[in-house]
Structure 1
């Protein structure tokens, strides 16, 4: 029997050595805030101001519009230093209407930073999805924001030797409670299993799951398998519930964009979806 059997889901070889910890998690007491984004500000500034004091969390955005607006989509990598990469930058002229977005909020080089995935309608009527550039996108019409996070754990952008990308990584700031748990999943780890393991380790019997990431060839519960090695994912609805024998069961309803720009939505098949580059998640006790 092979010592390293092939996993029952698609994976993508990474350029660097695998990190020994296959998921990382730390948390603290929950902070919750809801607010409208200030008009005329960049997305980064409009989110960072109202979240002063929160060191790590997730922000869900709905409605409103942006102008100017710019984004990238997932792409295959021609550079052997990376397993997947980004497309060229797209800058649709006019006002782009936001459907929804999810953003990881933390810090990079000591300053506030966001990692944002979303879906939207461009001025020509096309529905698109991808990775927003928050320091360049400007709020044009009222966007509603709701944030869950903590002051006692942080998302910090740090080098990730496995992927060669700088990635948000959870850092403990003395938090002991797990009312809000920040979870990073490493590449090629099955995301449901990692979420369930983190919830069990931090004694979360039931939790809401929010966040973003990427999946290798996403597999849906209805049988669809999307043949894309690179993707951008946002969780539309996620949860962890108590399972048999003290276990946990994760449920994830997502939107994902593939390298061709097609958007796919629905409930993922549990046990069949591996992280591509990373997953950044916020679990809050339910």
Structure 2
């Protein structure tokens, strides 16, 4: 099967294709306590540091109860792809790696998180973590990045027919910050790395780090030769850097985790 380069969405293309909001931010760490719902634990962690929005590096972590969905084919054509039924594996799930964007949906705290994990049965799996149905099982410290001056808010999107997180410019809440940040949303059917490089050049960023980052991709090709063919694939950023290339322009290196609608999983460096 040849990996497609374009997937027709149910609605008309929206502009701008790269949604970018300049703000300020800071690296933070906080502890997730056992017995807390993951959503509340993350909200509290950001709030204690003075933030209402940010991204989190997930894993390793123990979660139980735990609920998730995987990417799936659309059943009715209302979306280009959709979600599976909800999975609720028994026992403690051990999250190995993941990423989270934290913001608001319908006026309340919410997150969008993807990851890879191992269930108590030993089964390796991955997908989209459900915020309200997942509980922290063991105490763990996580690394995060708080954002002030931008808010990720889930709003209806006419192009994809989903309610999707995107950055909005908001008034500062006065959080302590120490660096510039560009909060992004990339609309469908773009070269992932190319869009990041275009954004870096636009904002004059020669060197930087790519934090968080969750979404969907039309498969991927990795540096070790792995090719994820399926178009309904969830992705999260493990690590990303911006640095000058030989031509002096910003170049991006990006390590990601992936899970497709058949349950196939991969981790590695994206190549174009």
- TM-score, scaled relative to structure 2: 0.91
**Conservation of the 8 A alpha-carbon contact between 2:46 and 2:53:** no
Where does residue 134 of structure 1 map in the other structure?
131
Q: CA deviation at 1:167?
A: 0.5
Per-residue CA deviation, residues 32-91 of structure 1 (Å, 9 max, x unaligned), is 210110211110000001212423321112223111111001111122110001111100
Q: 2:236 matched to 1:239?
A: no
Where does residue 255 of structure 1 map in the other structure?
257
- Give SS of 2:133's match: coil
Cα distance in 1 for residues equivalent to 2:15 and 2:200: 19
Q: 2:186 matched to 1:191?
A: no
Cα distance in 2 for residues equivalent to 1:16 and 1:252: 29
Q: Mapping of 1:49-88 within 5 angstroms?
A: 49-52=44-47, 53-88=50-85
Q: CA deviation at 1:235?
A: 1.2
Q: CA deviation at 1:165?
A: 0.4
Q: Mapping of 1:165-176 within 5 angstroms?
A: 165-174=162-171
Where does residue 43 of structure 2 map in the other structure?
48
Cα distance in 1 for residues equivalent to 2:250 and 2:218: 23
- TM-score, scaled relative to structure 1: 0.87
Q: 2:227 matched to 1:230?
A: no
Where does residue 275 of structure 1 map in the other structure?
none
Cα distance in 2 for residues equivalent to 1:47 and 1:89: 22
Q: Mapping of 1:1-286 within 5 angstroms?
A: 10-52=5-47, 53-174=50-171, 179-210=180-211, 211-270=213-272
**Conservation of the 8 A alpha-carbon contact between 2:26 and 2:179:** no
In structure 2, the gaps of 5 or more residues are 173-177
Q: CA deviation at 1:20?
A: 2.2
Cα distance in 1 for residues equivalent to 2:107 and 2:75: 32
RMSD (Å) for aligned C-alpha atoms = 1.8
Cα distance in 1 for residues equivalent to 2:81 and 2:72: 6
Q: CA deviation at 1:221?
A: 2.9
Number of equivalent positions: 262
Q: CA deviation at 1:201?
A: 1.4
